[in-house]
Chain A
Amino acid sequence: MRFLPLVFVALAAAAFFVFPYDLAFLTRILIMIVLVLSVDLILGYAGVPTLGQAAMYGAGAYAAGLFAIHVWADPVAGLIIGGLAGAALAFVSGLIVMRTHGLTAIMLTIAVAQICLEIANRARDITGGAEGLRGIRMEPVLGLFAFDFIGQTGYWYALIVVCVVFAALAVIGRAPFGMSLRGIHESRDRMLAIGAPVYWRLVLAYTLGGAVAGIGGALAAQITQLVSLETLSFTLSAEALIMLILGGTGRLYGAVIGTVLFMTVHHLAAANDPFNWLFVIGGMVLAMVFFLPSGLISLGHALKGGRK
């Protein structure tokens, strides 16, 4: 397991050279990985299901886009702004969502994303509404690497962000805070009985997840130079959740594997059969839920006949 991150980075670097004409698609995968990792922090670590992570992703995208247009087009500063926007929205909504459990919590996460979508839709003068936010022109990354129209800079930039986010979440997962989230996931009653402030831990986890999603959104805004209402859509939230479950929750690798698998199958199936590709996706999800309920990361264990 120790070498797995290096293997991923090596594969991602190899992909750059093997598929030079698919960089836009590969970059979309990387951006999506950031969003799915944020869901893994909330669902995989803390055990709180969410179907509204697009709210924070969209908030980060719009914040970074607006910041680039009106204030400063520096990419790294934009990422920070996007992360802060996602964190702020997650903190405020988390104060309410984390007071509830289960279905109620899921409904609230959906509601928050829908409200954000409607606000972005109505505030046409600021967000561009259904037209999308246009006119984002980024400066070179760190003042050195200009974005090119083939997407080479964008690809490496996104890959580095994925690595940083992955490493940060891995560190948090092993730290006392991450352990306490696993504790809440395993037994909320036991955490309460040892005096842990469960509610505030979850609010903080949700806020951190929001920051990560916001960074993902900012990345998308900077690289595609466009923010559309789709960034706040329910579909995006749901797909992020499906990708995570496909890969397996709670270990970060699952988020990476699930996203790559889902998006690749989606890409190929949609290219081969633009009308029926959803059948392929549906079949894949069904098969996974039946045969590998703990996700692709449990494949090795399942083949050996072990427990998840």
Chain B
Amino acid sequence: MTGLEVRGLSKRFGGLVVSENIDFDLKPGDRKALIGPNGAGKSTFANLVTGILAPSGGEIRLDGRDISRMGEAHRVKLGIAKTFQITTLFPRLTVRDNIRMPILEREGRGYRLLRRADGEAGIEAEVQSLIDQFELGDLADKPVRDLAYGQQRLVEMALTLALKPRILILDEPAAGVPSSETSLITRAIERLPQDLAVLIIEHDMDLVFRVARKIVVLVQGRILTEGTPSEIAANAQVRELYLGGGHD
């Protein structure tokens, strides 16, 4: 099958089990959200899928191919990309330079010593189209550290999308973004390419319910339930365990 298949995935840190027997599918066009209380193992799951962490057990397959033991760089080449919980950009480089970097890597230009990095018309056009897609035109030549946090999140999404991933993992895309700027993030997610498989890990329930078509609830490293937003909203167990716990 195409897409991401996770079967029986486990991760232990010493005696601490942070992921236990997780089964999970993500197909092209999916918009899934992964929610759960703090410490449920959401980020660990994302790191297992991207290859930052090695699993203790179970399997991760991409298009039927086992990638469980593959390194991070290799998985990126196969099309798995992720944004970080805390914005991770090149702060002193401009928006344009930030977005160009993954394209140069994707196209295997990284060892070129003589031609200018910004000297290829095809690559520059692609950079520009991403800048336009995320409405970053006015900021394109500013260093990203001078941007508002919400805008930096957009740059990070543009940068990640520049890898032309097939699986995109957004780790808390709205974390730290002031509520006045959350709509920017929501809109950007809504505009992602239709055939892209997207997994969103998020605390902001408004955002989750706006963009996700399926929601997976993770509690203490296990999947509690999976369903459509309305099913999850109606699920008594979820309400008690998670949504009821101080969520307004």
Contacts and interface: CB of A to CB of B under 8 A. Distances in A.
A141 B225 CA distance: 78
B111 A179 contact: no
B76 A195 contact: yes
Contacts of B118: 174
Contact of B104 (A171, A174, A176, A187): A176
B102 interface: yes
A191 B105 CA distance: 9
Interface in A187-207: 187, 189-197, 201, 204
Contacts of B90: 182-183, 186-187, 190
A179 B93 CA distance: 9
A237 to B, nearest CB: 25
Contact of A187 (B88, B113, B115): B88
A183 B101 contact: yes
A230 B77 CA distance: 47
A192 B3 CA distance: 22
B97 interface: yes
B114 A171 contact: yes
A226 to B, nearest CB: 34
B159 A186 contact: no
A175 B116 contact: yes
B163 interface: yes
Nearest to A204: B111
Contact of B92 (A186, A189, A195): A186
B28 interface: no
Contacts of A183: 90, 93, 101
Contacts of A182: 90, 93
A180 B104 contact: yes
Contact of B117 (A174, A191, A195): A174
A193 B91 contact: no
A195 B91 contact: no
B110 A192 contact: no
Interface in B135-149: none
A201 B89 contact: no
A178 interface: yes
A14 interface: no
B76 A179 contact: no
Main SS of chain A's interface residues?
Answer: helix
A193 B76 contact: yes
Contacts of A145: none
B88 A190 contact: yes
Contacts of B102: 194-195
A160 B72 CA distance: 44
Contacts of B76: 193-195
B81 A186 contact: no
Given A193-B50, A193-B72, A194-B76, A176 B88 contact: no
A179 B117 CA distance: 7
Nearest to A190: B88
Contacts of A175: 112-117
Contact of B93 (A174, A177, A186, A204): A186
Interface in A150-198: 171-172, 174-180, 182-183, 186-187, 189-197
A172 B113 contact: yes
A196 B88 contact: no
Interface in A99-150: none
A190 B50 CA distance: 13
Contacts of B105: 180, 194-196
A209 to B, nearest CB: 13
B101 A194 contact: yes
B100 interface: yes
A172 B106 CA distance: 19
B110 A176 contact: yes
A179 B97 contact: yes
A196 B110 contact: yes
Nearest to B75: A195
Interface in B12-44: none
Contacts of B50: 193
Nearest to A188: B88
Nearest to A172: B113
A174 B111 CA distance: 12
B84 to A, nearest CB: 7
24 contacts: A172-B113, A174-B118, A176-B104, A176-B115, A176-B117, A177-B113, A179-B97, A179-B100, A180-B101, A183-B90, A183-B93, A186-B89, A190-B159, A193-B50, A194-B101, A194-B102, A194-B160, A195-B72, A195-B76, A195-B102, A195-B105, A196-B73, A196-B110, A201-B110
Interface of B: 50, 72-74, 76-77, 81-82, 84, 88-93, 97, 100-102, 104-106, 109-118, 159-160, 163
Given A174-B117, A175-B115, A178-B117, 19 more contacts: A171-B113, A175-B113, A175-B114, A175-B116, A176-B110, A179-B117, A186-B89, A186-B93, A187-B88, A189-B84, A190-B89, A192-B72, A193-B76, A193-B84, A194-B159, A195-B72, A195-B77, A195-B106, A196-B105
